[in-house]
Structure 1
Amino acid sequence: MFLSYNLISHSYSINDMVIFVGNGNRDFGLKVAKYFPGCLSNCIINRFSDGEIRIPPIQENIRKKDCILIQSVSCSTQGSVNDILMEMFVLIDALRRASASSITVVLPIFPYQRQDRKSYSRSPISSRMIATFLETQGVSRVIAFDLHASQIQGFFDRVPFDNLYCEPYFIEYIKRNLDLENLIIISPDEGGVKRASRVAKELNCKIGLIHKERDTENQIDTMVLMGDVNNACCFIIDDMIDTGGTACKAANLLKSQGATQIYFGACHGVLSGKAIDNINSSYFEKVIISNTIEIEERFGDNSKIDVLDVSEMCASAIYKSLKGESVSTMI
């Protein structure tokens, strides 16, 4: 089910701005562009016969104008992650060579963000590489949602980075759909405690934690629940859900400890591999994700998955960044 909550005032008017929407989750980009009437470029990226990226002639005059590029670099029906990433780089180059005044890159999901450290000897830090590419191309600002690790912002030395959080949408969803009296917010690991604490504070409810113990091959061996969930409505909140294997194990643990209802909320619904099968056979009442990544285009409608529209928050962040207003009230 696709859900839209109007949490932020909108309808913006900005002169000298042009919005470009890539093929990665194009529906999200078009939703954002609707908040800026008359600013959407007609440019649609396509391919040469050999598969190389082709930027058709840009009909709008963008000299000395603020250009916004919206591209969700993740699972897509329009190509691989790397195809979508290369689209973004090629379009940035075209905008810079056309003398754009500024180039704001909106990445609903930051690519390669889980590769943010050296996890083994001679391993790359791929998210740092993406940051270097963007800075080298001379972009003016980067806007993204729910980074897997907030330190990725520190990979940018010269470019301002705005990291937006989907938490207000999950809070609104919980208020409208869940039993607040018996609610417990669950952090799936130690790294997500701050996120869970912020949500629990807004909802004035308890918080629980799942501690993961890993074996010698860095695979999850056991899970230990910290907190009492007997007869409780549990809401696990995380930044993303990929194959769903770990999330479903967490649901099994909560169910074994007496939880009556279990929900899972994540900003990014990567949903690769057997994710849909895992979710359908799990104890989750619902899995709630945002539309930062293509969902309905890949899977159609699924009764166990609710999708929250966060395009209005993205549009507000774009407006505030161009007008020099504070974004901190949103994050």
Structure 2
Amino acid sequence: MSSEPVLFALEGSQAFGHAVASQLGVNLADIEDRAFDDGEHKSRPLESMRGRDVYVLHTLFGEESLSVNDKLLRLLFFIATIKDAGAKRVTALVPYLAYARKDRRSKSQDPVTTRYVAQLFEAMGVDCVVALEVHNQGAFDNAFRCRTVHLEARSLFVNAIMDRIGNEDVVIVSPDAGGTKRVDRFRDAWADTTGEQPPTAFLEKRRSEGKITGDAVVGDMTGKVAIIVDDMVASGTTLLRAAEACKNKGATKVFGVITHALFGPGSDQLYRAGAMDQLYITDSVTPQQAPEEQGQVTTIAVAGLFAQAVRELHTD
């Protein structure tokens, strides 16, 4: 497309949006927001959308002022507004995609919420959805009938960790058997950067009605730096359990690699327990409890990944 892309960032995502805009060398497009006394809301663009290539950024994590559902609904309505205004193409940029965890039925009559969210995006007329490290990439791709782009920050994590550990031996660990594909991709990124392919390990984990059981470790980590890779942390219970198991099995250090650091109530146990030497997270969400004060968290900016996706999509 010949003209430059139009980039919007909705309320709660402006800081991330400005970072992406800076990388692209554009300004965020202006929005008029209006809140009604009864809690309803409207947003509209303040420039012509006809024939434009439009990108709407919103990261869908819940916070005190805006719930997950509020953010999702505002994003959906704004996408529909842009389409109604004559945009040629509308792409949703979603650093954190809400409801991605419930992508299958684990019990009888369970919802498949990922698919329902995809249907809502499609009903609003979205042409493409760009998301960062969803819970299950296969389920994400299959849920949407429109185009999807799945971004991963693993190479950024690898570069940051290598600066910290030097030549120490490492083992890449999944906190449960279901995350082994994620660990394999991280190991491939490590091999691409270092030329060495480290071993992997995983922990046994069973979750039922919010309770986690199982403590077996499959894999050797004696004398190695254990790097636990997961897509998100909320309470930190799973990550702490994995870190303690790694230390008990002989790991010299334990690092956590977490893309979406939700860090809800109770997550401060990750720092106080002493099992975790360092956490690496991205800025895809704003943690509910800011952990930087503990000095054990390294935050990696991922706006560049979204800027590059916009460049490639815009130029086809």
Same fold (TM > 0.5):
yes
Task: Give yes or no for contact 2:265–2:289 (8 Å, CA) kept in 1.
Answer: no
User: Is the contact between residue 24 and residue 73 of structure 1 (CA under 8 Å) also seen in structure 2?
Assistant: no
Distance (whole Å) between structure 2 residues aligned to residue 130 and residue 205 of structure 1: 37
Residue 271 of structure 2 corresponds to residue 308 of structure 1: no
Q: 1:14 to 1:219 in 2, by over 3 A?
A: farther
Out of 136, 160, 183, the residue aligned to residue 149 of structure 1 is 136
- Please give the alpha-carbon distance, in whole angstroms, between the structure 2 residues aligned to 1:190 and 1:181: 25
Shift in Å, 1:112: 0.1
Give 1:42's aligned residue.
30
Percent identical pairs in the alignment equals 25
Change (3 A) 1:131 1:248: same
Deviations 1:143-185, CA, capped at 9 Å, x for gaps: 001110122211112x100011111111111111124332221
1:35 counterpart SS class? helix
Alignment-derived partner of residue 126 in structure 1: 113
Partner of residue 113 from structure 1, selected from 87, 96, 100: 100
User: What corresponds to 2:247 in structure 1?
Assistant: 255
Q: Distance in 2 between matches of 1:42 and 1:188?
A: 43
Q: 1:199 to 1:106 in 2, by over 3 A?
A: same
Q: CA deviation at 1:53?
A: 1.8
Please list the CA deviations of residues 279-307 of structure 1 after superposition, one character each: whole Å capped at 9, or x if unmatched.
Answer: 33341111111111113x85273312211
SS at match of 2:183: helix
CA drift at 1:35: 2.0
Query: Among 30, 54, 75, which residue is 1:88 paired with?
Result: 75
With CA pairs under 8 Å and 6+ residues apart, which has the higher RCO, 1 or 2?
1
Letter in 2 for 1:93: A
Check 1:216–1:270 CA distance in 2 against 1; reply closer, same or farther (3 A cut): closer
**Residues 319 and 241 from structure 1, CA distance in 2 versus in 1: closer, same or farther, beyond 3 angstroms?**
same
CA distance in 2, matches of 1:215, 1:74: 22
Does 2:96 match 1:104?
Answer: no
Counterpart secondary structure, 1:223 = coil
Say whether the 8 Å CA contact 1:196–1:207 is kept in structure 2.
Answer: no
Q: Taking structure 1 as reference, are residues 213 and 90 closer, same or farther at Cα in structure 2, changes over 3 Å only?
A: closer
Q: For this pair of structures, how many residues does the alignment match?
A: 309
RMSD (Å), alpha carbons: 2.1
Q: 1:291 aligns with which of 280, 283, 307?
A: 283
Deviation at 1:232, TM superposition (A): 1.6
For normalisation by structure 2, the TM-score amounts to: 0.91
After superposition, what is the alpha-carbon deviation per residue over 1:219-262, rounded to whole angstroms, capped at 9, x for unaligned? 43222112222222111111111211011011111111121211
Q: Which residue of 1 is the match for residue 123 of structure 2?
A: 136
Relative distance call for 1:300 and 1:263 in structure 2 (3 A) is: closer
How far 1:141 moved relative to its partner? 0.6
Q: Is the 8 A contact 2:234 2:262 kept in 1?
A: yes
Q: 1:272 to 1:132 in 2, by over 3 A?
A: same
The SS at the match of 1:299 is: coil
| Pair 1:165-2:152 in alignment | yes
Q: Map 1:143-222 onto structure 2 (within 5 A).
A: 143-150=130-137, 151-157=139-145, 159-201=146-188, 202=191, 203=194, 204-214=196-206, 219-222=211-214
Residue matched to 1:10: none
**Cα drift, residue 39 of structure 1:** 4.1
SS of the residue corresponding to residue 216 of structure 2 reads: strand
Unaligned runs of 5+ in 1: 1-12, 325-331
1:20 alignment partner in structure 2: 8
- SS of the residue 1:186 aligns to: strand
Question: Within 2, Cα distance between the matches of 1:216 and 1:74?
Answer: 24
